[in-house]
């Protein structure tokens, strides 16, 4: 998975976030707010982010977070479907 942004650009964007806020930085630089929050989370973890529990071998912290976000979305959808099915079965 190739990085769209350089590490230097990410650091500069985070510096701008500190000064002007995430929403303003997102609008000025054209970076999705979700991406900026992800970068902030990874930055807060510092070097720990490279050795997080639950990462797959060779997976970066950013890739791991994105994978976990996708898994969370899938689980939310599965829960929604199960709730609908329980409501249907309870109505019988």
What is the pTM assigned to this prediction? 0.50
DSSP 8-state assignment for residue 54: T
Tell which residue, 68, 45, 63, has the closest CA to residue 3: 63
DSSP 8-state assignment for residue 46: G
Give one word for 89, left, alpha or beta, with left for phi > 0 and alpha for psi -120 to 50: alpha
| Three-state SS at 62 | helix
User: Mean pLDDT across the stretch 12-31?
Assistant: 94
Looking at residue 56, its pLDDT comes to 75
User: Mean pLDDT across the stretch 53-57?
Assistant: 73
Distance CA 38, CA 13 (A): 12
């Amino acid at each position: 998975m190739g990085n769209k942004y350089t590490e230097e650009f990410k650091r500069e964007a985070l510096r701008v976030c500190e000064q002007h806020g995430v929403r303003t930085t997102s609008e000025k630089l054209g970076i999705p707010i979700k991406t900026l929050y992800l970068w902030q989370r990874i930055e807060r973890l510092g070097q720990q982010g490279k050795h997080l529990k639950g990462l797959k071998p060779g997976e970066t912290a950013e890739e791991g977070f994105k994978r976990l976000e996708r898994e969370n979305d899938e689980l939310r959808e599965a829960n929604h479907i199960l709730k609908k099915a329980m409501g249907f079965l309870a109505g019988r």
